[in-house]
Protein backbone atom coordinates (compact mmCIF):
# COMPACT_ATOMS: atom_id res chain seq x y z
CA UNK A 1 0.00 0.00 0.00
CA UNK A 2 2.82 2.39 0.84
CA UNK A 3 4.60 1.86 -2.47
CA UNK A 4 1.34 2.27 -4.33
CA UNK A 5 0.40 5.50 -2.59
CA UNK A 6 3.90 6.88 -3.04
CA UNK A 7 3.67 6.15 -6.75
CA UNK A 8 0.29 7.86 -6.97
CA UNK A 9 1.61 10.86 -5.07
CA UNK A 10 4.55 11.13 -7.46
CA UNK A 11 2.29 10.93 -10.50
CA UNK A 12 -0.04 13.50 -8.99
CA UNK A 13 2.83 15.88 -8.38
CA UNK A 14 4.09 15.49 -11.95
CA UNK A 15 0.62 16.05 -13.33
CA UNK A 16 0.11 19.11 -11.19
CA UNK A 17 3.42 20.58 -12.26
CA UNK A 18 2.91 19.89 -15.94
CA UNK A 19 -0.78 20.72 -16.22
CA UNK A 20 -1.48 23.29 -13.52
CA UNK A 21 1.76 24.60 -12.07
CA UNK A 22 3.70 25.30 -15.24
CA UNK A 23 0.75 26.49 -17.30
CA UNK A 24 -0.65 28.65 -14.51
CA UNK A 25 2.72 30.18 -13.68
CA UNK A 26 3.55 30.77 -17.34
CA UNK A 27 0.16 32.32 -18.06
CA UNK A 28 0.39 34.51 -14.96
CA UNK A 29 3.89 35.68 -15.86
CA UNK A 30 2.81 36.54 -19.41
CA UNK A 31 -0.03 38.64 -18.05
CA UNK A 32 2.19 40.34 -15.50
CA UNK A 33 4.80 41.30 -18.09
CA UNK A 34 2.13 43.05 -20.11
CA UNK A 35 0.51 44.74 -17.14
CA UNK A 36 1.77 48.33 -16.71
CA UNK A 37 0.32 48.47 -13.20
CA UNK A 38 2.47 45.52 -12.12
CA UNK A 39 5.55 46.94 -13.82
CA UNK A 40 5.09 50.26 -12.03
CA UNK A 41 4.58 48.57 -8.67
CA UNK A 42 7.54 46.25 -9.21
CA UNK A 43 9.77 49.19 -10.13
CA UNK A 44 8.79 50.99 -6.91
CA UNK A 45 9.35 47.90 -4.77
CA UNK A 46 12.71 47.05 -6.37
CA UNK A 47 13.94 50.62 -6.01
CA UNK A 48 12.81 50.69 -2.37
CA UNK A 49 14.55 47.40 -1.54
CA UNK A 50 17.79 48.46 -3.25
CA UNK A 51 17.83 51.83 -1.48
CA UNK A 52 17.05 50.19 1.85
CA UNK A 53 19.78 47.57 1.54
CA UNK A 54 22.40 50.05 0.33
CA UNK A 55 21.36 52.95 2.57
CA UNK A 56 24.43 52.70 4.86
CA UNK A 57 26.60 53.27 1.80
CA UNK A 58 24.34 55.75 -0.01
CA UNK A 59 23.64 58.04 2.94
CA UNK A 60 26.00 61.02 2.52
CA UNK A 61 26.08 61.82 6.26
CA UNK A 62 25.54 60.25 9.65
CA UNK A 63 21.74 60.40 10.16
CA UNK A 64 22.15 60.86 13.89
CA UNK A 65 24.64 63.73 13.92
CA UNK A 66 23.87 67.44 13.31
CA UNK A 67 25.37 68.68 10.07
CA UNK A 68 26.07 72.20 11.38
CA UNK A 69 27.62 71.35 14.74
CA UNK A 70 27.66 74.20 17.25
CA UNK A 71 25.67 76.49 14.97
CA UNK A 72 22.57 74.41 15.62
CA UNK A 73 23.04 74.69 19.37
CA UNK A 74 23.24 78.48 19.11
CA UNK A 75 20.20 78.75 16.83
CA UNK A 76 17.82 75.92 17.67
CA UNK A 77 14.89 77.71 16.09
CA UNK A 78 16.53 77.70 12.66
CA UNK A 79 16.14 74.64 10.48
CA UNK A 80 19.00 74.29 7.96
CA UNK A 81 17.81 74.85 4.38
CA UNK A 82 18.96 72.93 1.33
CA UNK A 83 22.61 73.60 0.56
CA UNK A 84 25.67 72.02 -1.01
CA UNK A 85 25.99 68.42 0.18
CA UNK A 86 22.54 68.56 1.79
CA UNK A 87 19.99 68.67 -1.06
CA UNK A 88 16.97 68.31 1.24
CA UNK A 89 18.32 70.41 4.08
CA UNK A 90 18.15 69.35 7.71
CA UNK A 91 15.61 68.56 10.41
CA UNK A 92 14.87 70.38 13.67
CA UNK A 93 18.29 69.64 15.15
CA UNK A 94 20.28 70.01 11.96
CA UNK A 95 20.59 66.37 10.90
CA UNK A 96 20.78 65.71 7.17
CA UNK A 97 17.26 64.91 5.98
CA UNK A 98 18.29 62.86 2.94
CA UNK A 99 20.48 60.58 5.06
CA UNK A 100 17.66 60.07 7.54
CA UNK A 101 15.22 59.18 4.76
CA UNK A 102 17.63 56.61 3.30
CA UNK A 103 18.43 54.95 6.62
CA UNK A 104 14.76 55.14 7.54
CA UNK A 105 13.97 53.08 4.44
CA UNK A 106 16.08 50.25 5.84
CA UNK A 107 14.27 50.36 9.18
CA UNK A 108 10.90 50.44 7.42
CA UNK A 109 11.81 47.43 5.25
CA UNK A 110 13.06 45.51 8.29
CA UNK A 111 9.93 46.13 10.33
CA UNK A 112 7.56 45.44 7.43
CA UNK A 113 9.20 42.19 6.32
CA UNK A 114 9.70 40.76 9.82
CA UNK A 115 6.17 41.63 10.91
CA UNK A 116 4.73 40.06 7.77
CA UNK A 117 6.80 36.89 8.12
CA UNK A 118 5.87 36.45 11.78
CA UNK A 119 2.22 37.11 11.02
CA UNK A 120 2.38 34.67 8.11
CA UNK A 121 3.92 31.96 10.30
CA UNK A 122 1.28 32.39 12.99
CA UNK A 123 -1.49 32.47 10.42
CA UNK A 124 -0.21 29.29 8.77
CA UNK A 125 -0.29 27.45 12.09
CA UNK A 126 -3.80 28.58 13.04
CA UNK A 127 -5.16 28.27 9.51
CA UNK A 128 -3.79 24.76 9.12
CA UNK A 129 -5.29 23.67 12.44
CA UNK A 130 -8.67 25.16 11.59
CA UNK A 131 -8.69 23.83 8.04
CA UNK A 132 -7.43 20.34 8.81
CA UNK A 133 -9.32 19.73 12.05
CA UNK A 134 -13.05 20.21 12.24
CA UNK A 135 -15.24 20.44 15.30
CA UNK A 136 -14.30 22.42 18.39
CA UNK A 137 -10.77 23.19 17.17
CA UNK A 138 -12.04 24.91 14.05
CA UNK A 139 -14.77 26.72 15.98
CA UNK A 140 -12.42 27.94 18.70
CA UNK A 141 -9.76 29.18 16.30
CA UNK A 142 -12.25 30.97 14.09
CA UNK A 143 -14.01 32.67 17.01
CA UNK A 144 -10.68 34.09 18.15
CA UNK A 145 -9.92 35.15 14.58
CA UNK A 146 -13.34 36.79 14.23
CA UNK A 147 -12.85 38.78 17.43
CA UNK A 148 -9.44 40.03 16.30
CA UNK A 149 -10.73 40.95 12.84
CA UNK A 150 -13.61 42.90 14.37
CA UNK A 151 -11.11 45.41 15.81
CA UNK A 152 -9.52 47.92 13.39
CA UNK A 153 -5.95 46.86 12.67
CA UNK A 154 -4.21 50.06 13.71
CA UNK A 155 -6.27 50.30 16.91
CA UNK A 156 -5.37 46.72 17.82
CA UNK A 157 -1.70 47.36 17.07
CA UNK A 158 -1.74 50.49 19.26
CA UNK A 159 -3.40 48.54 22.07
CA UNK A 160 -0.75 45.83 21.90
CA UNK A 161 2.09 48.33 21.66
CA UNK A 162 0.78 50.21 24.69
CA UNK A 163 1.19 47.11 26.85
CA UNK A 164 4.97 47.50 26.86
CA UNK A 165 6.56 49.86 29.38
CA UNK A 166 9.52 50.53 27.08
CA UNK A 167 8.38 50.32 23.45
CA UNK A 168 11.02 49.80 20.81
CA UNK A 169 11.44 48.51 17.29
CA UNK A 170 10.79 44.91 18.32
CA UNK A 171 7.54 45.72 20.10
CA UNK A 172 6.38 47.42 16.90
CA UNK A 173 7.20 44.27 14.92
CA UNK A 174 5.34 42.11 17.43
CA UNK A 175 2.28 44.37 17.54
CA UNK A 176 1.98 44.58 13.75
CA UNK A 177 2.60 40.83 13.35
CA UNK A 178 -0.18 39.91 15.79
CA UNK A 179 -2.61 42.08 13.82
CA UNK A 180 -1.79 40.19 10.59
CA UNK A 181 -2.14 36.67 12.03
CA UNK A 182 -5.96 36.43 11.75
CA UNK A 183 -5.87 37.69 8.15
CA UNK A 184 -3.62 34.84 7.05
CA UNK A 185 -5.39 32.29 9.27
CA UNK A 186 -8.84 32.95 7.82
CA UNK A 187 -7.57 32.97 4.24
CA UNK A 188 -5.63 29.71 4.61
CA UNK A 189 -8.50 28.03 6.42
CA UNK A 190 -10.88 28.89 3.58
CA UNK A 191 -8.44 27.60 0.96
CA UNK A 192 -7.92 24.35 2.86
CA UNK A 193 -11.66 23.80 3.23
CA UNK A 194 -11.96 24.12 -0.54
CA UNK A 195 -9.19 21.52 -0.94
CA UNK A 196 -10.75 19.09 1.55
CA UNK A 197 -13.28 17.79 -0.97
CA UNK A 198 -11.15 18.06 -4.10
CA UNK A 199 -10.66 14.98 -6.27
CA UNK A 200 -7.00 14.36 -5.45
CA UNK A 201 -7.64 14.60 -1.71
CA UNK A 202 -10.62 12.24 -1.88
CA UNK A 203 -8.57 9.81 -3.99
CA UNK A 204 -5.69 9.85 -1.52
CA UNK A 205 -8.07 9.34 1.39
CA UNK A 206 -9.77 6.39 -0.34
CA UNK A 207 -6.36 4.77 -0.84
CA UNK A 208 -5.68 4.88 2.87
CA UNK A 209 -3.17 7.71 2.93
CA UNK A 210 -2.76 9.06 6.45
CA UNK A 211 -4.60 12.27 7.24
CA UNK A 212 -1.41 14.05 8.22
CA UNK A 213 0.18 13.20 4.88
CA UNK A 214 -2.93 14.41 3.06
CA UNK A 215 -2.83 17.73 4.89
CA UNK A 216 0.87 18.48 4.39
CA UNK A 217 1.39 16.89 0.97
CA UNK A 218 -1.86 17.76 -0.78
CA UNK A 219 -4.06 20.30 1.00
CA UNK A 220 -1.51 22.76 2.38
CA UNK A 221 0.73 23.13 -0.72
CA UNK A 222 -2.30 23.71 -2.94
CA UNK A 223 -3.70 26.31 -0.54
CA UNK A 224 -0.66 28.58 -0.30
CA UNK A 225 -1.16 30.54 -3.53
CA UNK A 226 -3.73 33.04 -2.21
CA UNK A 227 -1.79 33.35 1.05
CA UNK A 228 1.42 34.32 -0.75
CA UNK A 229 -0.43 36.93 -2.79
CA UNK A 230 -2.00 38.29 0.39
CA UNK A 231 1.44 38.57 1.98
CA UNK A 232 2.38 41.15 -0.65
CA UNK A 233 -0.66 43.24 0.23
CA UNK A 234 -0.06 42.79 3.96
CA UNK A 235 3.44 44.23 3.55
CA UNK A 236 1.90 47.54 2.55
CA UNK A 237 -0.44 47.45 5.54
CA UNK A 238 2.41 46.50 7.88
CA UNK A 239 4.49 49.47 6.72
CA UNK A 240 1.59 51.87 7.32
CA UNK A 241 0.74 50.42 10.74
CA UNK A 242 4.39 50.44 11.84
CA UNK A 243 4.69 54.06 10.77
CA UNK A 244 1.52 54.85 12.72
CA UNK A 245 2.92 53.30 15.89
CA UNK A 246 6.18 55.20 15.54
CA UNK A 247 4.26 58.41 14.85
CA UNK A 248 2.38 57.94 18.14
CA UNK A 249 5.61 57.41 20.07
CA UNK A 250 5.27 53.63 20.40
CA UNK A 251 8.32 52.85 18.27
CA UNK A 252 12.05 53.14 18.72
CA UNK A 253 12.70 56.01 21.20
CA UNK A 254 16.25 56.55 19.90
CA UNK A 255 15.85 59.16 17.16
CA UNK A 256 19.46 58.67 16.09
CA UNK A 257 18.12 55.60 14.26
CA UNK A 258 15.49 57.21 12.01
CA UNK A 259 12.22 55.66 10.93
CA UNK A 260 9.71 57.31 8.62
CA UNK A 261 6.83 57.29 11.10
CA UNK A 262 9.11 58.66 13.80
CA UNK A 263 10.20 61.46 11.47
CA UNK A 264 6.54 62.32 10.85
CA UNK A 265 5.90 62.53 14.57
CA UNK A 266 8.84 64.87 15.08
CA UNK A 267 7.77 67.08 12.17
CA UNK A 268 4.27 67.79 13.50
CA UNK A 269 5.57 70.51 15.83
CA UNK A 270 6.96 72.58 12.94
CA UNK A 271 4.66 71.49 10.13
CA UNK A 272 3.20 75.00 9.71
CA UNK A 273 6.55 76.64 9.08
CA UNK A 274 8.40 73.68 7.55
CA UNK A 275 5.91 71.30 5.87
CA UNK A 276 8.73 69.66 3.91
CA UNK A 277 9.85 67.84 7.06
CA UNK A 278 6.54 65.95 7.01
CA UNK A 279 6.16 65.82 3.24
CA UNK A 280 9.23 63.68 2.53
CA UNK A 281 8.66 60.81 5.02
CA UNK A 282 4.90 60.84 4.35
CA UNK A 283 5.54 60.73 0.61
CA UNK A 284 7.94 57.81 1.02
CA UNK A 285 5.38 55.84 3.06
CA UNK A 286 2.64 56.46 0.51
CA UNK A 287 4.77 55.57 -2.52
CA UNK A 288 6.19 52.37 -1.01
CA UNK A 289 2.79 51.20 0.26
CA UNK A 290 1.35 51.94 -3.19
CA UNK A 291 4.11 49.88 -4.83
CA UNK A 292 3.41 46.78 -2.74
CA UNK A 293 -0.34 47.22 -3.24
CA UNK A 294 0.01 47.43 -7.03
CA UNK A 295 2.17 44.29 -7.07
CA UNK A 296 -0.24 42.38 -4.83
CA UNK A 297 -3.35 43.35 -6.77
CA UNK A 298 -1.65 42.50 -10.06
CA UNK A 299 -0.63 39.08 -8.74
CA UNK A 300 -4.15 38.42 -7.51
CA UNK A 301 -5.61 39.36 -10.88
CA UNK A 302 -3.05 37.31 -12.83
CA UNK A 303 -3.68 34.18 -10.75
CA UNK A 304 -7.47 34.52 -10.78
CA UNK A 305 -8.96 32.13 -13.36
CA UNK A 306 -12.10 34.28 -13.64
CA UNK A 307 -10.09 37.24 -14.89
CA UNK A 308 -8.37 35.38 -17.73
CA UNK A 309 -9.30 36.30 -21.24
- Fold for 37-53+96-304, please state it: MetI-like fold (1.10.3720)
> Domain residues of the chain, as ranges?
37-53+96-304
Q: Give the best-scoring range by mean pLDDT among 2-6, 74-78, 87-91, 161-165.
A: 161-165
Say whether pTM exceeds 0.75.
yes
Q: Are 257 and 237 in contact (CB under 8 A)?
A: no
Name the residue with higher pLDDT: 151 or 14.
151
- Residues 28, 302: contact at Cβ < 8 Å? yes
* pLDDT at 26 > cutoff 60: yes
Higher-scoring residue by pLDDT: 73, 54: 54
> Are 258 and 173 in contact, with CB atoms under 8 Å apart?
no
Least-confidence region, from 76-90, 208-222, 236-250? 76-90
Amino acid sequence: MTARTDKIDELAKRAAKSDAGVSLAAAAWRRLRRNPVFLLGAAIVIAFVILALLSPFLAPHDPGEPMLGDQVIRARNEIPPAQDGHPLGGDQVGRDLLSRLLVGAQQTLLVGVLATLIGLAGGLVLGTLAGALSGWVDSTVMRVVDVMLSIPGLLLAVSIGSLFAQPNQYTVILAVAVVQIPVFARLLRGSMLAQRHSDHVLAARSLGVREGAIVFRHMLPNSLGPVIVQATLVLAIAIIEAAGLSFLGLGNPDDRIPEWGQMLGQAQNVIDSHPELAFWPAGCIVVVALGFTLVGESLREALDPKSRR
